[in-house]
Amino acid sequence: MLRHAAELAIRRPRTVVAVWLVVFAIGLGIGGGVFGRLGGLGASVPGSESRVTADRVDKLDPGTDTIDAMVTARGLRTEPVAHPPAGRPVAGDAGLRERITGAVADLRQIPGVVQVPDPYQTPGMTGDGQAIAVTVTFDGGLSSHEEHQALKAAEARLRAIGTADFQVRVSGGPLLDDALNSTAQSDAGRAEMISLPIVLVLLIVVFGGLLAAALPLVLALCGVASTLLALFAFSFVTDLSVYSVQITTMLGLGLGVDYALLMVTRFKQERAAVLAVRGGGGATGGSTGGSGSGGGASDSAAVIADCVRATVSAAGRTVFFSGLTVAVSMVGIVVYPAPFLRSMGLASCAVVAVDMLAAVTLLPALLAKYGHRIKPANARRSQGRWFGRFASGVVRRPVPVLLVVGAALVTAAVPARALSLSPGDARELSASSEARQVYDLGLAHFPGHSNADHVTVLVPGGAARPDYLKHLRGLPGVVESSQKTYPDGSAVVRLTPSGTNDGAVATGLVKSIRAEHQGALVTGSSARLVDFRQMLVDRLPYAAGAVLLAVFVLLFLFTGSVVIPVKAVVTNLLSIGAALGAVVWVFQQGHFAGLFGQGVEGGLGSLDVTVPPLMIAVAFGLSMDYEIFILGRIREARLHGEDARGAVVTGIRYTGRVVTCAAALLVIVFACFMTGGAAPILEFGMGLTLAVLIDATLVRMMLVPAVLAVVGEAGWWAPRVLRGVYRRFGVSEGSGVSG
């Protein structure tokens, strides 16, 4: 297959490039529409009690959307103030009361608005009079156009309440979704604008020329365009998280640069080897009468074509297996029933496939067309003598290295034991965003206001006894409650617990009601979180089993060993555990969290529910990416007759520079996504940044050589029956002229 791809790229380079240009244009033109189709934050599990109960409650009482307006004195802090400063206007101001009362009357006249409680007649004003909450409820049966018109009219009327002394902040419902979508779009664009120029400069330094440096960016941009197109297609069959664009774009950029870096590096090495074989003066000289970078016999179309074939045969095979392992790692996300996780897993698989396909078709076509303008590799730099000396030092003292690095990784992973998950809400936005300020003000000045839908209990007719309903409303931790009965005898009890929706009180309330086994069904945001956490635990064996089995098979087919796949899984889990532990230590527990913005300073107390599974899956795939890069060269060295330890040193010597450069480029891409204001992207970006750094340094350059040196030839062992399977189905990396 790879041979045919290489031949197509060599014989029809313009056609191949034209096809990819069309894909790129379609991706940007059509795929950009995905931003208007992103959903909420998504912690709902199909078939769970919370999901089924929510559907039943909606049938009894059709769903509605609400928005909240927080009217406060200008400059009011989010935390309660015991006594307003002298001379500060308070919410009981007669002029403000007249403005709010008039606004409430006007809001009730807007088509589509079904309820606007008078805040002066309900618990809408705080005890200190520093803030008033005005809640507007819309009919859940409105069309999209009708809802949009009603929403805009209500928002405009609410903002008109503001004066020189009082500030109005509006959010909730569709406005919160809009804020999240806007943040997703702006953050993704900002990250790309920052990362691409930096990556280009670094690639110019690495390759020593603009043309070679531009090729990885071409591949990465095709990956981004394809990412948008894949997400747009998936949006018609499943819900998409608002963060799916950033996460898959991050992956598409990173892998595109990674794969192109490996391919271009190998092409430069193949050109240098051809020149050396023909006596042309090494990395820069010509061969039989030609120059290494300008033309002549050594740069003839036939020679360039041979170099492209060798590149695809060797590095292309590595890219192919790397892409398969990354895609397989994302299968662990697809097996989870949550639509948002599944959609991101599928989209990530699609992005990996596109990057992989572009690396073995588009890039060879560009190399066939413009490869004669790319300088051959410098022999001294391509051999990576420093990395070879470093690897030699590791294999001479493998046990101390193994113990020290292993202990460091285990220690770094310890905080991950305290991992806590929370559903997405306005807390995931930066502290400067209006939606986040509305949430913080509601939580600080209106006990239970931000917890309104945390625990909703549906009590069927047979169980809706007055004493039991009273019991529910009097459960410990409930600060507010309401009750509504229906003609079929059933009742819906809405309980507002103290604290946040992911707090111990709210989740404990859900569990205690369910544990009573009185026939009551529980939904709400806290119940959705409880069910989501349980789903992660229940599906973990299936997700882990599917990924580990597939990775084991792929690595066995790549190496012919049953020991190396086990080693790869263990070392990868160590690096991922260390990265996850660091994320928990910073964002959940609050150590140095202030460095990442006001919204996360002091710690969030938990991580977004989607971050750990996604981070683990992507980091595992990227770790396998580097594993295959190195194993491919080690395998080549063994095929050329080197022993186990010598092959390890050779593999690190030839791949150390590529892996280090690839890791640096990925770190730049991931770190640039941390410039945004959304907490999940900060968590995800930091996790992947650390995972790549740890994996490319401590694991690939130290832990892996140490383990392979300790096990020696036994590391390449396989049972006799599996050796037969490998001889028949296994595929090892081919070797080009450069060996």
* Pair (718, 698) in one structural domain: yes
Containing structural domain, residue 611? 404-423+526-731
What single letter denotes the amino acid at residue 616?
I
The DSSP annotation for 632-691 comes to HHHHHHHHTT--HHHHHHHHHHHHHHHHHHHHHHHHHHHHHGGGSS-HHHHHHHHHHHHH
pLDDT reading at 402 higher than 80: yes
Within a 10 A sphere around the Cβ of 719, how many other Cβ atoms? 9
- What is the pLDDT confidence band of residue 111, given thresholds at 50, 70 and 90? very high
Rounded distance between C-alpha atoms, residue 585 and residue 7, angstroms: 51
Instruction: Report pLDDT for 383.
Output: 59
User: Tens digits of per-residue pLDDT, 342-363?
Assistant: 877 887 888 888 899 999 999 9
pLDDT at 21: 92
Domain annotation covers residue 465: no
Q: Which residues, other chains included, contact 24 with Cβ-Cβ below 8 Å and sequence gap of 6+?
A: 221, 222, 225
SS3 content of the chain, % helix, strand, coil (to 5): 65, 10, 25
The pLDDT score that the predictor gives to residue 417 is: 92
pLDDT on residue 525: 84
Q: Is residue 386 part of a domain?
A: no
Q: According to the model, what pLDDT value does residue 599 have?
A: 61
Whether residues 142 and 166 fall in one domain: yes
CATH of the domain at 106: 3.30.70.1130
Three-class SS of residue 204?
Answer: helix
Token pair listed for 94 = 């007669």
Q: Decide if pLDDT at 735 tops 70.
A: no
Confidence bin at 708 (pLDDT 50/70/90): very high
Would you state the pLDDT for residue 294?
A: 43
Residue at which a domain ends, from 172, 198, 218: 172
Edge-to-edge strand ranges of the sheet holding 166-171: 113-115, 131-138, 65-73, 166-171
Total domains in the fold of the chain: 3
Q: Is the domain of 536 the same as that of 660?
A: yes
Mark whether 141 and 280 lie in a shared domain: no
User: pLDDT (tens digit, 9 = 90+) per residue, 639-683?
Assistant: 888 888 999 999 999 888 888 888 888 898 888 878 776 778 888
Regarding predicted confidence, which is higher, 82 or 590?
590
More confident residue, 282 or 125: 125
Kindly state the average pLDDT of the residues 459-476.
86
Can you give the pLDDT at residue 335? 81
End-to-end CA distance of the chain: 22
Q: Is the predicted pLDDT of residue 734 greater than 60, yes or no?
A: no
85-94, 199-208, 609-618: segment of lowest average pLDDT: 85-94
- Among 89-93, 319-323, 446-450, 715-719, whose mean pLDDT is lowest? 446-450
User: pLDDT (tens digit, 9 = 90+) per residue, 216-264?
Assistant: 888 888 888 887 888 888 788 777 776 777 777 788 888 888 888 889 9
More confident residue, 326 or 188: 326
Per DSSP, 523 falls in state E
Q: Mean pLDDT, the chain, as a whole number?
A: 82
The answer as to whether 2 is a domain residue is yes
Looking at 151, 172, 193, which one is the last position of a domain? 172
Q: Do 187 and 165 sit in the same domain of this protein?
A: no
CB 38 within 8 A of CB 245: yes
Q: Tokens standing for 401?
A: 């290295």
- pLDDT over 70 for what percent of the chain? 87
Helix, strand, or coil (residue 428): helix
**Is 233 part of a structural domain of the chain?**
yes
Mark whether 233 and 326 lie in a shared domain. Answer: yes
Residues 214 and 336 in one domain: yes
**284 has pLDDT over 60:** no
Is 429 within a domain? no
Taking residues 474-495, report their average pLDDT: 87
Is 60 exceeded by the pLDDT of residue 280? no
- Domain shared by 100 and 244, yes or no: no
Q: Are residues 209 and 262 in the same domain?
A: yes
Residues present in the chain in total: 739
468-479 burial, b if ≥16 CB within 10 A, otherwise e?
A: bbeebbebebbe
Nearest to 91 by CA among 450, 445, 449: 445
146 shares a domain with 19: no
- In-domain check, residue 333: yes
Does the pLDDT value for residue 597 go beyond 50?
A: yes
For residues 150 and 196, membership in a common domain is answered with no
pLDDT band at 692 (very low <50, low <70, confident <90, very high): very high
- Across residues 381-399, what is the average pLDDT? 84
Residues 415 and 552 in one domain: yes
- Residue 610: which CATH number? 1.20.1640.10
Determine the Cα–Cα distance for residues 162 and 156; give it in Å rounded to an integer: 11
Q: Please give the pLDDT value at position 685.
A: 86
H/E segment holding residue 455: strand 455-459
The pTM for the full model equals 0.79
**Strands annotated E in 79-224:** 113-115, 131-138, 166-171
Give residue-wise pLDDT tens across range 226-235. 878 888 887 8
Assess if residue 531 is contained within a domain: yes
State residue 287's pLDDT score.
34
Task: Tell whether 480 is covered by a domain.
Answer: no
